Amino acid sequence: MDRQDLRLAVCVGLAAGFGSISTVPDGYYLPLTLAAVMVGSYGGSYALGLQRVICTLLGGLLLLIAQPAFTGLPFPIGLALMLGLIRFLGGCLGLEAGYKITGMVVVMGWLMQSTAVDGWLGLKLSWTALGVVLALLTLHLFWPSTAIREHQQAYVALLELQREALLEQQRLLLQSAGVRLSPARRKQRHRELMRALIQTRATRSAALLELGANPYAQPQSHLWTELERCCAAIAGCITALRALREPFVAVPALRELHQAEAHLLADAVALLGLWQDALNRNRAALLPDSRSDDLEASMERLRSVERDLLVQDELPEALDPFQQRQLARRLLLCYQIGAVVQRMQLRWQELMITNKDPWPAPP
């Protein structure tokens, strides 16, 4: 049993005890609402609880307004028409859950005496609303677990794996002997990276639900989309770098080039660390001084070293065609990593300008 199951069991038990000792009738609706609404995340529970209240209201309105029009019909026909009307109105209102609640309200109210329907509907709605409020308070106060925070932590874990992989490539560029991973270890690291990337995508829907009714109008959703693209591109570059042969550190003419590549990767790792710090905070925003100037300088230095290297006549003699392709491939991948990280950094800052405080504090 995890902590969410324990939280649900404790809260439902307390709600059942409170409902049983309460002098207000129909107290069993309170634990039933808690058990149905507490789905784990605050946003999911809020959406589900809101629809539960709406469906209860819808069932009560249909019972009070439409039932008198169907009383002259046979009971099976009238009830079937009422349930069809529930389905039609629920589709028009865009309800995704709670049709059973609306139907239950209608069926139970239909079978009750007309004099008792008004009081029962008020009690049902009151207990339902109280259960939703208690569920949200419980998720806020008792082992809070928000989908936005979980989504951000998934990105933090993914960025940590990518930082480790880039640091591994940096060490390989500086001293290749005994640094390159074995094929089995490379395959394991690749699987870990892919699982972390899949985990970020799996937690996206719940985080978007927690943003509210129109999540795509908020900068957070755009930032997550851009960050996912950036991490996917970096993951592809890391996989391609691991597939290359060891760098040619024994060739004196290439040492400066490899040092420039290592410096670029180190600056990219530094920016990934700043992103992790931003995502770990309640209000994830980059610090004002967290710019990509160092990364830009590293990319310019690498271009300068590359230009100097291309004019040397002895380079084609030191490397065969396969080694030259390997050298060009590694150089291109380093440029790609630098460009992807720099573009994401600029995009993040643009979103901060669009909304000074785009990240809501977790409930």
pLDDT digits (tens), the chain, 363 positions: 566 778 888 888 888 888 888 888 878 788 888 887 786 666 667 777 888 888 888 777 777 776 676 666 776 777 777 777 777 777 777 666 656 677 777 777 766 655 566 677 778 888 888 888 888 888 777 766 677 888 889 999 999 999 999 999 998 888 765 567 788 888 899 999 999 999 999 888 888 877 766 777 778 888 899 999 999 999 999 999 998 888 876 777 788 889 999 999 999 999 999 999 888 876 666 665 566 788 999 999 999 998 888 877 666 666 778 888 888 999 999 999 999 999 999 998 888 775 544 444 343
**What are the angstrom distances between the C-alpha of 81 and each of 74, 85, 111, 173?**
11, 6, 16, 74
Q: What is the CATH number of domain 147-354?
A: 1.20.58.220
Taking alpha carbons only, the member of 195, 145, 140, 155 closest to residue 284 is: 155
Length of the chain: 363
| pLDDT at res. 312 | 74
Instruction: Give 322's contacts (C-beta < 8 A, 6+ positions apart).
Output: none
Q: What phi, psi does 247 have (nearest 5°)?
A: -65, 160
Q: What phi, psi does 68 have (nearest 5°)?
A: -60, -30
| pLDDT at res. 132 | 85
DSSP 18-48: HHHH-SSS-TTHHHHHHHHH--SSHHHHHHH
The structure tokens 């670029």 sit at 264
323/149 Cα distance (integer angstroms): 46
Instruction: Give 242's contacts (C-beta < 8 A, 6+ positions apart).
Output: 165, 169, 181, 186, 189, 190
